[in-house]
Chain A
């Protein structure tokens, strides 16, 4: 597979074209005779392949000049909030970045006043943005369901001209049937945490007494997802060093009847026993290969499902400007703690050096210098390692929180995270390539 990075053009090479290009790129100054000798290609075959490459170069699809737009400090304005409505959780998952839900502080629930003020701040800061996003997160947000319901009603009633987009991330344990119509009426997209079958899930997702959570939540999650056969949810798993066989976990989730599935690598400090290591990469690659095979097999058999990281829309993907400003943390996207404190994102909740303000104060955002720092860190080309990476327009510079927690800086990418990210982008492109080459459309 060959990717023209600046334009996002993707091609499949046959074995001879691959051999030819590899040889040329290894030593661009060599003679035709050298290339012929090293590749074993005849002169006519070389001319044919070279002609095809020249067509694509002339069309601007390959080896075009790399785009490197200027940084625009005003590109990002707040449009998205994560409301950590509960700094408390009824689970005690082994890999939780939020320290069991309390974010290394005291347990707390967000008040209606704080949630409403957060929405006011969002609207005030968002200027003319029409689409505004609010994610209900925690801890376990359903421990504070009444505030979730109130916040959605307040946003819609007070600011009806905005297009409100709500998401909720839950462990599923407190889901009740009477919540379903509310989630439905508010078009809430729901992320349900479940790591796979019982063994994979209960390896890390436990109650505080160490007992597994699988049997307690499966029926609730199934009851909810049954109300949404056409989407509006993702069952999202996490894989860690003790649950590396994530292809099997995805298959188990699919066999449990879920059609919208995501599986993310855990992010933990290297001294954690559950942290992924560089030595895990071969196994991770194997897992993606197994997952690709399973994914395509199920699609072909009519039992297809959606896997979040394979959702690359090659016809309607993000524009270049979106791709060069990363996740938006600290500038376009912020998190609100139960006491109203604002942080750059949910993973920064509680990091006092990056506390941006408080929604109950005026002005709410009290540290414009920090917002500028984050806006700059979001810019793809502010990260030296990203500026020449082939995957830069797919990951857009990676996760600032991961950079900070692993390297103590916003702009030095978390290297292992980059390597895993590239594995899964390659996997997604491989799926697209397979779909494009199929005699009959798949998927």
Chain B
């Protein structure tokens, strides 16, 4: 497209699988924030790359 450039499309998983969330992902305040909710900075446990540390 000439006037509108996509950065990312449909980044929120609204699939049936996501509706039955496993909730195995990190709790926001376990992250580096501690004083504000940062859910957008979390990653999906089933889709992220495996890592030894949580960040």
Contact = CB atoms under 8 A, between A and B. Distances in A.
Q: Do A and B come from one complex?
A: yes
A318 B35 contact: no
Given A189-B53, A318-B39, A131 B24 contact: yes
A9 B21 contact: no
B10 A60 contact: yes
Interface string B1-19: 1111111111111110111
B35 A399 contact: yes
Interface in B1-55: 1-15, 17-21, 23-45, 47-49, 51-55
Interface string A49-66: 100110110011100000
Contacts of B20: 321
Interface stretch (A108-116, A216-224, A282-290, A327-335): A327-335
B39 A52 contact: no
B28 A327 contact: yes
Contact of A10 (B6, B21, B53): B6
B48 to A, nearest CB: 5
Interface size class of A (residues with CB under 8 A): 35 or more
A385 interface: no
A197 interface: no
A38 interface: no
Contact of B21 (A1, A6, A169, A319): A319
Interface in A316-341: 316-323, 326-329, 332-333
Contacts of B38: 308-309, 395
A236 B11 contact: no
Contact of A236 (B14, B29, B34): B34
Given A317-B40, A326-B39, A232 B55 contact: yes
Contacts of B32: 191, 234, 236, 260, 262, 308
B30 A80 contact: yes
Interface of A: 1-2, 6-14, 16-17, 48-49, 52-53, 55-56, 59-61, 67, 69, 75-77, 79-80, 82, 97, 129-131, 133, 135, 165, 167, 169, 187, 189, 191, 231-234, 236, 238, 260, 262, 264-267, 308-309, 311-323, 326-329, 332-333, 345-347, 393-399, 402, 417, 421, 425, 428-429, 432-433, 436-437
A8 B10 contact: yes
What are the 6 closest A-B residue pairs judged by CB atoms, nearest first?
A: A394-B40, A319-B18, A321-B21, A8-B11, A232-B53, A234-B32
Q: Is the interface of B mostly helix, strand, loop or mixed?
A: loop
A16 B3 contact: yes
A332 B27 contact: yes
B8 A9 contact: yes
Contacts of A323: 12, 39-40
Nearest to A393: B12
A200 to B, nearest CB: 18
A102 B1 CA distance: 58
Contacts of B25: 131, 318, 322
Contacts of B30: 80, 133, 135, 165, 167, 333
A201 to B, nearest CB: 17
A77 B55 CA distance: 23
Contacts of B45: 131
Contacts of B39: 318, 322-323, 326-327, 394-396
A7 B7 CA distance: 13
Given A265-B36, A396-B40, A11 B26 contact: no
A8 B9 CA distance: 7
B5 A12 contact: yes
Given A16-B3, A308-B33, A312-B41, 5 more contacts: A52-B4, A77-B23, A133-B30, A165-B30, A322-B25
A319 B27 contact: no
A317 B42 contact: yes
A433 B19 CA distance: 28
A10 B7 contact: yes
Contacts of B11: 7-10, 314-315, 317
Nearest to A13: B4
Nearest to B54: A189
A129 B14 CA distance: 22
A424 to B, nearest CB: 9
A319 B9 contact: no
